[in-house]
Amino acid sequence: MLSVDQVCALIDREVRRLPAVRLPLAETLGHDLAEEIRADADMPAFDRSAIDGYALPEDALPGWFNVVGEVTPGMAPFSAPGSGNAVRIFTGSALPASGVGLVMVEETESEGKRVLTRVAASRQHVRARGSQAKHGALLLKAGTKVNPGAVALLASVGATNPLVSGTPKIIHLVTGSELVAADVDPPAGYIRDSNSPLLAALIAEAGPGILAQRHVSESVDEAVEALEDFDGDMLLISGGASVGAYDGSAQILRRLGFVVHCSKVRSRPGKPLLFATRGRCAAFGLPGNPLSHFVCFYLFIRRAFDIMSGRVPQGMTRVHIDGDRPPSDPRETWWPASVRAEEGSLIAKALPWKDSSDITGLAPANALLRVGSSPGNDMFEALLFGNLEP
**Residue ranges that bind ligand AMP, judged by CB under 6 A:** 174, 176, 178-179, 191, 193-195, 238-242, 247, 287-290, 357
Q: Write down the least CB distance from residue 262 to ligand AMP, Å.
A: 16
Taking Cα atoms as reference points, which of 51, 54, 52 lies closest to residue 65? Answer: 54
Closest to ligand AMP by CB, 267 or 289:
289
Which among Mg ion, ligand AMP, none contacts residue 236 (Cβ within 5 to 8 A by kind)? none
Among 176, 248, 290, 336, binds Mg ion (CB under 5 A): 176
Q: b or e along 70-96 (b: 16 or more beta carbons within 10 Å of the residue's beta carbon)?
A: ebeeeeeebebbeeebbbbbbeebbbb
Among 81, 209, 239, 270, binds Mg ion (CB under 5 A): 239
Contacting range for Mg ion; rule: CB under 5 A; set: 57-65, 143-151, 262-270, 286-294: 286-294
Which among Mg ion, ligand AMP, none contacts residue 178 (Cβ within 5 to 8 A by kind)? ligand AMP
95, 72 contact by CB (below 8 A)? no
CA angle 104, 105, 107 (to 5 degrees): 70
Inter-CA distances, 173 with 165, 239, 240, 253, Å? 25, 9, 11, 12
- Supply φ then ψ for residue 346, to 5 degrees: -100, 125
Which among Mg ion, ligand AMP, none contacts residue 289 (Cβ within 5 to 8 A by kind)? ligand AMP
Percent helix / strand / coil, the chain, rounded to 5:
20, 35, 50
Closest to ligand AMP by CB, 200 or 256:
200
33, 162 contact by CB (below 8 A)? yes
101 lies in the binding site for Mg ion (CB under 5 A): no
Residue closest to ligand AMP, measured at CB: 288
Closest to ligand AMP by CB, 207 or 288:
288
Closest to Mg ion by CB, 239 or 326:
239
Q: Write down the least CB distance from residue 204 to ligand AMP, Å.
A: 17
Note the helical H segments in the chain: 4-14, 148-156, 195-206, 220-227, 249-255, 290-296, 302-308
Q: Write down the least CB distance from residue 15 to ligand AMP, Å.
A: 23
